[in-house]
C-alpha cells in the first residue's frame, strides 16, 4: 500500500463500519445515520439557502471567529508587549491576570447574551476573551525570549530604540508570534462553535443543533463532519503559514504540539 494512501485506511474502515451498523443494526434511528445518507444531506444543504445553507452557516462561524480573534489578539499582543518589556509592569499585573484568566470563556456566554442579545457581537466577544489570554502570555514570553546576545549586539552597535525594536526585537519575535497566532486560530474556531452550540442561533454549531432537534441524524452527522473538516483545513493552513515564517526568519521550523 503506497504510504500516501495509508492515513485513509483506518477512517474509511470506521466509516464502513458505521454505514453497516446504521443500515442493518439500527435502521431508521433518530440518532445514527449511514454516512452515505449524511453525504446526500450535505449535498442538499450545499445548494440550499437561508438557515440551511452550508455557506451561510460556515461564513457566520468564520466571521465571528475572525472578529473575535482579531480583537483578542490585538489586545493580547499590545498588553503582552508591554508586560514583556517591563518586568515591573508584569509583576504588578500578575495577581489580576491570575485571577481573571481561569474564568472559562463559556461562563461568559450568558453574560454576552444578556448584553448583546444574539448574533455576531455576542459570539465574537466570547471568542475575544478566550483568545486574549493565550496571546497575552505567549507574546510576553516571546519578548523575553529574544536572544539576549542580539540585544547586546544592538547596544554594541549603538542602535536607536526604534531600530532596536524594528530591526532586532520584532523580527526575532515573529516566529513565536506566529505560533501564538496558530494557537489563537484553533481556539477561536473551537470557542465560536461552542458558543453556537450553547446559545447563539447562527453558524455551524447551531445548524448542527437544529438538525439534531429536527431528528435529522443524516444532516447532523454531515455537520459534525463538516465542522471537523473546516477546523482541520484552517489549522493546517495556519501551520503552513507558521512554518514558512519560521523558515524565512532563519529558524529551524518549530514543530509545536499545541
Partner 1 sequence: MSEAPLLRFDSVGIHLGGREILSPTSFEVARGEFVCIIGPSGCGKTTLLRMAAGFLRPGCGVTLRHGKPVVGPSREVAFVFQDYGRALLPWRTVAGNISLALEAAGIAAAQRSERIARVLATVGLSEHATTFPAQLSGGMQQRVQIARCLAQEPELIMMDEPFGALDAMTREGLQDEISRLVRSTGLTVLFVTHDLEEAIYLSDRVIALRANPSAEKPSLAAMVEVKIPRPRDQLLTKEQPEFLRLRRELYRFLGHP
Partner 2 sequence: MRAARTASSGRARAAIESLLVAAALLALWWFASHQQWLSKVFLPTPEATLESLLQGLVRGELSGFTLATLQRMLLGWLLASAIGVGLGALIGASSTARIWIAPTLEFLRPLPASALLPLAISLLGLSNGMVLAVVAFGAMWPVLLATVHGLVAVHVGLRQVATALQLSRSAFVFKIGLPNALPDILAGMRLSMTVSLIVAVVGEMIASQPGLGQAILLAARSFRASELFAGIVLLGGMGFLSNALLSVLEAAFLKWQRP
CA dist 125 and 240 (Å) reads 28
CB of 198 to partner 2, least distance (A): 5
Taking CB under 8 A as the rule, which mask of x and - marks residues 23-62 in contact with partner 2?
A: -------xxx------------------------------
Q: Taking Cα atoms as reference points, which of 235, 243, 230, 233 lies closest to residue 186? A: 235
Buried b (16+ CB within 10 A) or exposed e, 114-153: eebeeebebbbbbbbbbbbbbbbbbbbebbeebeeeeeee
Q: C-alpha cell of 72?
A: 483578542
Q: Which 118-177 positions form the footprint of partner 2 (CB under 8 A)?
A: none
Residue 254 backbone phi and psi in degrees, to 5: -75, 115
CB of 96 to partner 2, least distance (A): 5
Is residue 73 involved in binding partner 2 (CB under 8 A)?
no
CB of 147 to partner 2, least distance (A): 24
* CA dist list (Å): 98 to 74, 93, 112: 20, 9, 22
Q: C-alpha cell of 258?
A: 499545541
51 binds, options partner 1, partner 2, none, Cβ within 5 to 8 A by partner type: none
CB of 156 to partner 1, least distance (A): 5
115 binds, options partner 1, partner 2, none, Cβ within 5 to 8 A by partner type: partner 2
Q: Cβ(64)–Cβ(188) under 8 Å?
A: no
Q: Determine how many CB atoms are found less than 10 A away from the CB of residue 7.
A: 9
62 binds, options partner 2, partner 1, none, Cβ within 5 to 8 A by partner type: none
Is residue 252 involved in binding partner 2 (CB under 8 A)?
no
CB of 147 to partner 1, least distance (A): 5
- Which residues make up the interface to partner 2 (CB under 8 A)? 6-11, 14, 30-32, 88, 91-96, 98-100, 102-111, 113-115, 186, 189-190, 193-194, 197-199, 205, 208-209, 211-212, 217, 220-221, 224, 227-228, 231-232, 234-235, 257-258
Amino acid at each position: 500500500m503506497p504510504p500516501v494512501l495509508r492515513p485513509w485506511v483506518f477512517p474509511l474502515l470506521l466509516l464502513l463500519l458505521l454505514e453497516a451498523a446504521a443500515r442493518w443494526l439500527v435502521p431508521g434511528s433518530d440518532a445514527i445515520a449511514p454516512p452515505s445518507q449524511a453525504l446526500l444531506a450535505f449535498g442538499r444543504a450545499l445548494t440550499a439557502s437561508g438557515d440551511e445553507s452550508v455557506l451561510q452557516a460556515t461564513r457566520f462561524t468564520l466571521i465571528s471567529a475572525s472578529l473575535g480573534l482579531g480583537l483578542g489578539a490585538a489586545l493580547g499582543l499590545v498588553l503582552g508587549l508591554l508586560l514583556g518589556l517591563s518586568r515591573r509592569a508584569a509583576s504588578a499585573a500578575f495577581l489580576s491576570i491570575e485571577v481573571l484568566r481561569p474564568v472559562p470563556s463559556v461562563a461568559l456566554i450568558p453574560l454576552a447574551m444578556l448584553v448583546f442579545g444574539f448574533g455576531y457581537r455576542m459570539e465574537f466577544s466570547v471568542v475575544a476573551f478566550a483568545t486574549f489570554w493565550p496571546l497575552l502570555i505567549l507574546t510576553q514570553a516571546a519578548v523575553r525570549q529574544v536572544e539576549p546576545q542580539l540585544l547586546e549586539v544592538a547596544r554594541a552597535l549603538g542602535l536607536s530604540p526604534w531600530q532596536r525594536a524594528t530591526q532586532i526585537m520584532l523580527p526575532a519575535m515573529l516566529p513565536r508570534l506566529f505560533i501564538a497566532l496558530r494557537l489563537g486560530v484553533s481556539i477561536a474556531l473551537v470557542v465560536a462553535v461552542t458558543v453556537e452550540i450553547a446559545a447563539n442561533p447562527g453558524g455551524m454549531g447551531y445548524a448542527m443543533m437544529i438538525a439534531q432537534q429536527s431528528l435529522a441524524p443524516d444532516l447532523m452527522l454531515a455537520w459534525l463532519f463538516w465542522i471537523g473538516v473546516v477546523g482541520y483545513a484552517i489549522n493546517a493552513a495556519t501551520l503552513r503559514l507558521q512554518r514558512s515564517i519560521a523558515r524565512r526568519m532563519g529558524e529551524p521550523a518549530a514543530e509545536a504540539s499545541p
